[in-house]
Amino acid sequence: MNFLRHIFGKQARTAPATAVPREAFNTVTFDDERITRILADGKSEVVTWADLETITIVTTDQGPFVDDVFWVLAGSVSGCVLPSEAQGMKELLPRLQALPGFDNKAVISAMSSAQNAKFVCWSRGGGL
């Protein structure tokens, strides 16, 4: 650690043993009626499958040490923004991919992006 002090001029900080993983602050659940994001403060964002109109992935240039990929599920009267590292996203992805006309190439492009960008993966009616 002395070499870090020499380089940075002070002792390097480490995360406390009680640090909570960033994905624990967001939980995604879904059923046959809705998709819900539950935030750390207990608030929630909800979009119903019936209302869902578009799925867009928004990427930022802030990674890799912070989540830089967000799924925007937008409806006409409801919606939610899902961080890609939220608990439950791994389970939700196959359900999203099963939507007719879902564009997996857009997902691949988004996951390869290190820039501020938007990728439309699905829209009701298939008008990508």
pLDDT tens string, the chain, 128 residues long: the values are 443 344 345 444 443 433 434 545 689 999 999 999 998 888 999 999 999 999 999 998 876 666 778 999 999 999 999 998 899 999 999 999 999 999 999 999 998 888 899 999 999 986 54
The verdict on residue 5 lying in a domain is: no
Domain annotation covers residue 7: no
Would 1 be classed as within a structural domain?
Answer: no
Pairing status of strand 34-39 against strand 26-30:
antiparallel
What does the alpha-carbon distance between residue 37 and residue 46 come to, in Å, rounded to a whole number?
6
Helix (H, G, I), strand (E, B), or coil: what is residue 103?
coil
Residue 57 lies in a domain: yes
**What is the Cα–Cα distance from 49 to 30, expressed in whole angstroms?**
10
Count of the separate structural domains present in the chain: 1
pTM comes to 0.76
Range of the structural domain that residue 117 is part of? 21-123
Let me know if residue 128 belongs to a domain: no
Q: Answer yes or no: is 73 within a domain.
A: yes
Q: Does the residue 13 lie in any domain?
A: no
d(Cα 118, Cα 6) in Å, to the nearest integer? 42
Asked whether residue 2 is assigned to any structural domain, the reply reads no
